[in-house]
Chains A and B, each alone.
Chain A
């Protein structure tokens, strides 16, 4: 057959028209998309009745009310609880992620015992009896004081049962991780001589003068602070933020005043000096000022003149005088000064807290609406006296090794003979969260017997000899007192909203069980069957309301009387703790950055939280330092390039990210990263800034006051 041009074209066009008009092409495309679908691999969540269960979140010191949505018995979503006196419906991203912590890949599923470099599962009975055995031996050898405990805090019955166990056993060595609450209590003790805490009525203050407190970085009770901050525009209230870096709080403030970190106390005392010099202090409240007030007034005017303070802090002289005037002027509608850098759970210094509190005292906002409230400690737990025997009395007569957790670890390493034979770690991760984390890890390794009560195989649990895994937040019953600067003293009751996913226990139940396994005075000190039985007795005043309503408001009003003020501590002009290391060798200063989206506490960030983190904080596995472009360009460091950061404590390779908002000469690194855990979502991402910071101890208080570290960087 002859194919001419005409028939070729005709055939071609015919074929084209045929293909275009026939459904085959479309059908094939459709089919290919249908047959390559993988819906069968996609889970179909089971349907069921929707119910809500209220509870209280225990993930941070905020202790917010939560409302857990469940489908049949599965929790599927965590919302904030409307009407709860701390957070009234608001919730942070970590609280929402509580459902992920339930199934976190790094959870410890059963009690574990160390076997060389690995762990093996054991039963709860074996675990408890092994601890009993070990502790019994220590006690028999007459060294009861060689048991120590590091806890996240000392509030609530669980922490107090651990403290009680130590007392009954015969040890004073109970330590809490650095936290705002203890700094506030120490300040109240120092300035008012009272066993009290300080709370700030932020939602009614006309002006907040914040010395680096990260009101929206997670300071205090985060959601409560978010709300106070959000309402400031409507209330016509002002926020002045004093810190070296443009944090979210600084960006959200009415004014940001950059200051050299570590000189906040100087600035506060400088402002005090102006107020005193201009006689702008509250004459009425001055009647309550103790004997050393005159000495203090003379000292600050002498040592903290505007010129001197401007030199130290880098804040212009005019600005200091203006701040003093504004602070006094706004006090008509109450101005309040707060401090504690970022989340305030890292380095704190008593001098700084006292100096800032002196401002509140001078303007007389103490126990006023919108001011600073000196609240008696919330003592809703009335434990019976601990029963002790001779071994316990002997142990309790020994001196506490240090006043802070960091101090404790630094002292026990220094001695050749072990000061500590056994260590309990509950609701804390010191091997990651304390300064000089690698060193702390080495110290923990040397402790002969370490028991971790962690829910997760975290850095500290990895060093343990035994792990008694705890329930997570949603599986656990416990009382949770609000604290951390909140004026409303609330006790919340967290309830198990789901059956334990793994073979874990409430650490409160575990410690009661352990105590009862001993004979004699230790068991006698723990006459309860479990935590619930204990709570219903020791919190009997509020237990009925607490168990019925889920929370009790203990007080929400300012105390009627005014406390006296003791300026003796400040009048001595205590020294400011300087960073360790040589400024010539290390010309830069590294400061940790608190980022609301990264959890720096006992729990590492959830998968959800890590997902929200910017790609200038984590990129792949790489971490970052923030650097001012001016500083970086001087050193030839490009945006996004790799740099080696060296401090006296160690050296890491990270990437640099330019940020105009950080003071030239400083570099910042986000806190809470660089976890060494079996959890692909958080593990090995970024570096742990705590490994780069050397603790420095404040004379007197013994607190770790290292706000950062001297550092140098070079191109990697």
Chain B
């Protein structure tokens, strides 16, 4: 099934970095929703499993011109070059443990199929994937708070953000139960991080549905870019950008900021490239 046909969803997110306060609610909501375990020491961030991770960015200027900004990073759910569903991780998985769902645009992860080769982690440009180096442990009693909607993972498998796929499944069941065929209502399916964000910085919805807020903010261009045919779905909102957009990974997480320096950090620009990219949007606000 092609993902741009009328029946398919294309779930995506836009995060307003000017609203994000770096409070960490999204990270904890995600851990709690998805049975992510906690180790005694989580300060080695390379092996600390955080499906949703909030990075702290700064403009690298001395006092008092310093500015900081927080950037929440879930799995970017790449649609791959040309929007064909060949995400970097899906393309390299030898076990079909991770796959691209054309009907939702969600990159899945099937823990019991994964045998831990970690090719996907190498392929992911966003460090969104995490490897379980140890079996998860919960101290006495804490297992009681685990949710049956998401399987806990064993050591030796890779895990990542699933856009709270179990919530999609529950919403779909509800829709079928109500005698409808398709999730149309924005509120019916929301990720845990979106729901938790106290600042309302995260907007989640179906990028194929023009009524959804995410589509209205992002205004994705359905056509490939003229100068780079790999890039599809670029935002027509000058304040909105994607991470490493020019790679053509076509991520479905969009970021929004009024601040130029923040938008510039979204990609690695050579001298002069940023000005061109910024003007390409036809705007130089910031």
Contacts and interface: CB of A to CB of B under 8 A. Distances in A.
Contacts of B115: 30, 33
B23 A76 contact: no
Nearest to B68: A251
B200 A230 contact: yes
A686 B280 CA distance: 47
B112 interface: yes
A614 B27 CA distance: 12
Contacts of B58: 660-661
Nearest to B39: A611
B199 A226 contact: yes
Contacts of B153: 42
Contacts of A48: 148
A534 B239 CA distance: 56
Interface of B: 18-19, 21-25, 27-29, 31-33, 35, 38, 40-45, 48, 50, 54, 56, 58, 60-64, 66-70, 112, 115-116, 135-136, 138-148, 151-156, 192, 195-201
A661 B63 contact: yes
B148 A596 contact: no
27 contacts: A39-B154, A41-B154, A42-B151, A43-B152, A45-B146, A75-B145, A91-B29, A92-B25, A102-B145, A216-B21, A226-B199, A227-B199, A230-B19, A230-B21, A230-B198, A246-B67, A248-B22, A501-B141, A596-B24, A611-B27, A615-B43, A628-B63, A660-B58, A660-B61, A660-B63, A662-B63, A681-B40
Contacts of A47: 148
Contacts of B22: 216, 248, 596
A618 B48 CA distance: 13
Interface of A: 30, 33, 36-39, 41-48, 69, 71, 74-80, 87, 89-93, 96-97, 99-100, 102-103, 105, 216, 222-223, 226-227, 229-230, 233, 246, 248, 251-252, 256, 258, 501, 596-597, 607-615, 618-620, 628-630, 659-664, 680-681
Contact of A96 (B29, B70, B142): B29
Given A230-B201, A660-B63, A33 B154 contact: no
B38 A611 contact: yes
Nearest to B145: A99
Nearest to A596: B23
A599 B68 CA distance: 22
A36 B21 CA distance: 43
A479 to B, nearest CB: 24
Contacts of B28: 93, 96-97, 608-609, 612
B195 to A, nearest CB: 6
A255 B79 CA distance: 39
Nearest to A617: B43
Given A92-B198, A97-B32, A660 B66 contact: yes
A628 B198 CA distance: 31
Given A36-B156, A38-B155, A96 B145 contact: no
Nearest to B41: A620
Contacts of A91: 25, 29, 196, 198
Given A91-B198, A216-B23, A611-B38, 12 more contacts: A38-B135, A42-B154, A69-B147, A76-B145, A77-B147, A96-B28, A100-B145, A102-B144, A102-B145, A256-B64, A619-B43, A680-B40
Nearest first, the 7 A-B pairs at minimum CB distance are A90-B198, A33-B115, A103-B141, A216-B21, A230-B199, A45-B146, A93-B28
Nearest to A89: B195
A37 B156 contact: yes
A689 B27 CA distance: 26
Contact of A33 (B69, B116, B201): B116
Contacts of A229: 21, 199
Contacts of B141: 102-103, 501
B23 A43 contact: no
B9 to A, nearest CB: 23
A46 B56 contact: no
B148 A71 contact: yes
Contacts of A619: 43
Contacts of A596: 21-24
B21 A103 contact: no
A74 B28 CA distance: 19
A87 B198 contact: yes
Nearest to A32: B115
B113 to A, nearest CB: 10
A619 B195 CA distance: 30
A90 B153 CA distance: 29
